[in-house]
Amino acid sequence: MMRRAPTTIRAISYNVLADQFSYHHQYCPPRALAWPHRLATILRQVVHLDPDLLFLQEIQQGVFHTQLRTTLAALGYEAMYCSTRLDDPDTDFGPVLAYKTSRLKLLVPGTCNKTGACHETGAWNNTTTMRFCDALGQWHPPAADTTKHADDAFHAALGNNQEGAVMALLTLHTPEEEEHHAGAHMLPGTQGMSVDNTASTTASTTAPQPISKHTSLAASQQYVICAVATHLHWNPQFPDVKTAQAAILCQQITQFMAAADVSHAAVVIGGDFNSLPKKTWSDTYDPHVPAGGFASGVYTLMTKGVVGADHPDHPATRRGLASCAKVLGVV
């Protein structure tokens, strides 16, 4: 177990590669591609790095419910899943957000608006899940232009239901609470390594006790964390779609916090953004990269808080879509 200061949060993020996509990587040895081998390797990394927050992408629904959720619970984590393919559970995959229950706890249940596919029971009351295709009203073209844009590649890709996010408001345990929750459990196959866990197996499977919105939350406002697991569009032909998804995500985070009456929080987003911090070379997707390169629209939005309509990854510039000609911001 890796030690850290009481107010330090450690987070890790992995795109685990859904098993249904492994055939794309036949250059890898079959043993390395086998899901049981990859799952065991990922779990060993989780044990070794001992994160407080764990963000995973491309988790298949069956894997989450039959393997991952219970295994992470044995390691002391509460895990939440965002279902993105509601019409096809057999091929459904999505992001997972997990937090270490010995260090973090969920805030007030039932205070947050929910968009898209939401789980209404147990500890999941404290979270919200969203699919980008469920929050596209602002991106639909005006009614008069519906026919013109009906087959537009931008709107088709933005409406794809394979991406989304799951988010939760969390707060650090007090030192006394953390000491109470301290313990250790062993995970089969991890060569004897131990990790912090809740006080007992019962505690790890029981929904956390709610925090009083008018007492504990106000007193610990500086320790409130908004944790978000997400996965943006994969296709390098659509950096404008990724930028739009990032803007939608930021807006949803703002609404989520406002619905919980939280004005200040440390926002931690873990995901596969499929975006570069800086692009310095020309290729099929960007044949005219300016001298010195440019930061992707997603990276610009996340680091600067705004993406102008003249940015190469803005849909107004990338595809000349007048209906999208506006500055994208984090709120």
Strands (E) across the chain are located at: 11-15, 53-60, 77-81, 93-100, 104-106, 127-131, 164-172, 184-186, 194-196, 224-231, 266-272, 306-307, 328-329
Q: With a cut of 90, say whether residue 85 has pLDDT above it.
A: no
pLDDT of residue 196: 32
Cα–Cα distance for residue pair 81/78, rounded to 1 Å: 10
pLDDT, the chain, mean = 75
**pLDDT at residue 263 greater than cutoff 70:** yes
pLDDT at 90 (0 to 100): 67
So what's the pLDDT on residue 315? Answer: 83
What confidence score (pLDDT) does residue 223 get? 76
What values do phi and psi take at 264, rounded to 5? -135, 130
Collapsing DSSP states into helix, strand and coil, what is residue 316? helix
Confidence of residue 89 (pLDDT cuts 50, 70, 90): low
Query: Within 10 Å of residue 128's Cβ, how many Cβ atoms?
Result: 28
Write b or e for each residue in 230-255: b if 16 or more Cβ atoms lie within 10 A of its Cβ, otherwise e.
Answer: bbbbbeeebbbbbbbbbbbbbbbbeb
Short-list 101, 109, 123, 235, CA closest to 173: 101
Residue 327 has pLDDT above 60, yes or no: yes
Read off the pLDDT of residues 155-165 as tens digits, 9 standing for 90 and up: 777 766 567 88
Q: What is the mean pLDDT of residues 121-129?
A: 48
What would the mean pLDDT of 31-41 be, rounded to a whole number? 94
Q: Residues 213-247: pLDDT tens digits?
A: 433 444 444 578 999 999 999 899 999 989 988 99
Least confident of 42-46, 239-243, 268-272: 239-243
Indicate the pLDDT class of residue 55, thresholds 50, 70 and 90: very high
How confident is residue 154, by pLDDT bands cut at 50, 70 and 90?
Answer: confident
Q: Decide if pLDDT at 78 tops 60.
A: yes
User: CA dist 251 to 40, 88, 130, 160, 190, Å?
Assistant: 36, 27, 12, 19, 40
End-to-end CA, the chain: 38
Percent of the chain with pLDDT over 90: 37
Q: Which CATH superfamily is domain 11-329 in?
A: Endonuclease/exonuclease/phosphatase (3.60.10.10)
